[in-house]
Structure 1
């Protein structure tokens, strides 16, 4: 069994047309992960204890704290009450524009502890026009592949996934976590660590599409975000302002395009 899940837990299952019966359920691990910059504590995330260097690297970039190339090293250590990930920057540089926080960041929320409204909705860079085109038919194929590759999600049914696909639908990288923001940050960190170009494909997330998911995708530099669930009004507004293609309500039989539809095409181009 994966070390990222707990031992099976007992429960009583109730069904309207059946007798109550005892069951056992496998659940994912969720621990406190402290993020610090040059030894100075910044925030605490509740996360699945996997790919924590990717989580720290992705958080730094998608929260506009620093560029990936500004990171000198990431050290992950196990503490008595959780795990500490310390991000090191060049001497005298330090992180910039870190949003002040006074609470832990829970797995369900990307803005926990942010103190000021101005820190909640900040200016976004605008993605370049053009780039590769994504065929509508590629999206359901990507969703099917994502479903097949979610090992932790399939085992527990209690985690989110974020994945990066090439424009022809090939799975490049996938990350899972109890938190949707954490999964996307882990994906961002993994792509940046491997030197992959986020502009050359699209991101798929299994969660609802709040504005923070849009912002993280934009700061990563990926022009297309596909979400399984629905977007909020602010997510659509932020996507339009940042020139992000936003596809949501993605299912095997279709999807809805809320912004940036010019990057989507009816059929996939033939290989040159």
Structure 2
């Protein structure tokens, strides 16, 4: 298999990209930051589709080797004969050649494959499922800046399970008055948002009013979930990825990052003024 001592061509992005944002304050100051990149990676073993997941597109060969080892698909990296990568837009395809022993073991393993909370897209076997066409949301106003004041502290007070055990993500709904009305926790960040969406499905709260909050990093899968659920505004306590911002802007999802010690940053909709110099 290819050496992992350095990144191979096609496994890294062409370079970091600045993304502009506007502070959710009366001054509406604008600036730009570099956001992490991500893409959909489809892995095929000996010509058979196995999984699609969202990854950072650097050192992908190392990821595939580690994924194969940690999921017991191979007993050692010497059973990985070759990795061929091809990039197309926001997607990477990896054609992995395994030894005969590993390939036969893989067929048995596939019968037992279950999605994990970490990657969010394990088991999805087509890139068009990972990067689907969605229905754009109607344009919605941004929440008042005062509704985000001390939001981190208010979230901590709502996380009952995390207070006792830690290691839990949360997804919350803040209503039109700025009050936290729902909180769901889970060890998986995708699971937490799914729980919130499920709660909203049988709750009189309107997802178009107020906003949802996630305590985890904001990657593409969570953007897709919010859009499908009709949530108008998503607030993330961790910076979004570049692809998340692109999709939020494309489908009219208001996307706000709430840093620890700075004003809320509105990445979607895109600011209309140039960032300050």
Interval containing the TM-score (normalised by the shorter chain)? 0.5 to 0.7
* Alignment map for 1:135-154 (pairs within 5 Å): 135-154=144-163
Runs of 4+ off more than 4 Å: none
Structure 1 or 2: more strand by fraction: 1
Distance 1:252 1:220, change over 3 A: farther
Q: Is the 8 A contact 1:102 1:113 kept in 2?
A: no
Q: Is the 8 A contact 2:249 2:270 kept in 1?
A: no
Equivalent residue, structure 1, for 2:43: none
The structure that has the greater radius of gyration is 2
Q: Is the 8 A contact 1:102 1:114 kept in 2?
A: no
Are 2:254 and 1:245 equivalent residues in the alignment?
A: yes
Are 2:128 and 1:122 equivalent residues in the alignment?
A: no
Counterparts of 1:102 and 1:124, CA distance in 2: 30
Q: Is the 8 A contact 1:133 1:167 kept in 2?
A: no
Larger RCO, structures 1/2 (Cα 8 Å, 6+ apart): 2
Counterparts of 1:179 and 1:257, CA distance in 2: 25
Are 2:222 and 1:209 equivalent residues in the alignment?
A: no
> Mind listing any 5+ residue stretches in structure 1 that lack a counterpart?
1-100, 263-272
Q: Secondary structure at the match of 1:198?
A: coil
192-201 or 202-211, which moves further after superposition?
192-201
Counterparts of 2:185 and 2:139, CA distance in 1: 30
Equivalent residue, structure 1, for 2:233: 224
Residue correspondences, number:
161
CA drift of 1:118 comes to 1.1
* Alignment map for 1:67-106 (pairs within 5 Å): 103-106=113-116
CA drift of 1:115 comes to 0.7
Equivalent residue, structure 1, for 2:204: 195
Distance 1:207 1:218, change over 3 A: same
Q: Is the 8 A contact 2:223 2:248 kept in 1?
A: yes
Distance 1:249 1:226, change over 3 A: same
Counterparts of 1:144 and 1:252, CA distance in 2: 13
CA deviation digits over 1:11-51, x for unaligned, max 9?
Answer: xxxxxxxxxxxxxxxxxxxxxxxxxxxxxxxxxxxxxxxxx
> Mind listing any 5+ residue stretches in structure 2 that lack a counterpart?
1-110, 272-277
Q: Secondary structure at the match of 1:167?
A: coil
Equivalent residue, structure 2, for 1:28: none
Distance 1:140 1:106, change over 3 A: farther
- TM-score, with length taken from structure 1: 0.56
CA drift of 1:228 comes to 0.6
CA drift of 1:139 comes to 1.1
Equivalent residue, structure 1, for 2:22: none
CA root-mean-square deviation: 1.9
Q: Is the 8 A contact 1:162 1:176 kept in 2?
A: yes
Counterparts of 1:212 and 1:140, CA distance in 2: 27
Q: Secondary structure at the match of 2:155?
A: helix
